[in-house]
Amino acid sequence: MAELDWRDDLKGLFEDIKIIEESKIETLENFDQFWEFIAQPAFENLKAALKQYRIKARFKRKKGKSILFRMNFPRSRIDDFLYIIYLPKNSLELKLKLRIKGRPDKQSPLVEREEQFMKNVDPSMILKLTMNELIQDVIEHYRKFKFENLTRPE
C-alpha cells in the first residue's frame, strides 16, 4: 500500500480550511442580500399595512446576523410579537433559524419559541423567496400565536 506524503495531507488540510472560510464569507454576503432585497422591503410594506390596524411596527438588522420585526399591541407601546430571523454562528449555508417571541397580554412576560426558518424552503432557495412569501410567513406565525393565546383554556 502506498503511503501518503504528509506534505500532501497538510496541503489538503489548508485547502479545506480555506474553502470553509470562503463559504462562511459567502453565506454572510447572501444573508446581506436576503436583508436588502427581500426582508427589508417586505417589512417596510408590512409595517405600512399594520398602521391601518393601529399597530406600530419596527424592524432592524442586529449585529449583522439577525433581522428583527417587532409589532406592538394595538394603540400601545408594549411589544406584542417579535419575529426574528437569524443566521447561526459559523453557518456555511443560509440555513436560517426563526425565533418567535410574544406576550399573551400586555401584562405577561415574553414567551419564546425557536424553529427552522421556513422549514419547507431549501437553504439554496432562500434568496429566491419573494417579499410576499416572507410577509405571509410573518402573518401565519402571528395568526398561530394569537389564536393559541385567544383559545387557551384558563
- pLDDT (0 to 100) of residue 14: 95
Going from the C-alpha of 144 to that of each of 17, 57, 100, 149, 150, the distances in angstroms are 42, 18, 11, 9, 10
Strand order from edge to edge, sheet including 111-116: 57-62, 66-72, 79-86, 97-102, 111-116
Whether the pLDDT of residue 146 is over 70: the answer is yes
| 135: Cβ contacts below 8 Å, ≥ 6 apart | 42, 45, 46
The three grid cell numbers given for residue 20, joined into one nine-digit string: 470553509
pLDDT (tens digit per residue) in 19-59: 999 999 999 999 999 999 999 999 999 999 999 999 999 99
- pLDDT (0 to 100) of residue 114: 96
- pLDDT (0 to 100) of residue 1: 52
Do you know the residue count of the chain? 154
Q: How far apart are CA 60 and CA 66, in angstroms?
A: 9
Mean pLDDT across the stretch 104-128? 93
Mean pLDDT across the stretch 74-80? 90
In the chain, where are the structural domains located? 8-151
- pLDDT (0 to 100) of residue 150: 80
Q: How is residue 110 annotated by DSSP? A: P
Name the pTM for this structure.
0.89
Whether the pLDDT of residue 152 is over 90: the answer is no
- pLDDT (0 to 100) of residue 5: 86
Mean pLDDT across the stretch 74-93? 93
Range from 39-43, 45-49, 108-112, 129-133 carrying the lowest mean pLDDT: 108-112
- pLDDT (0 to 100) of residue 75: 86
Whether the pLDDT of residue 151 is over 90: the answer is no
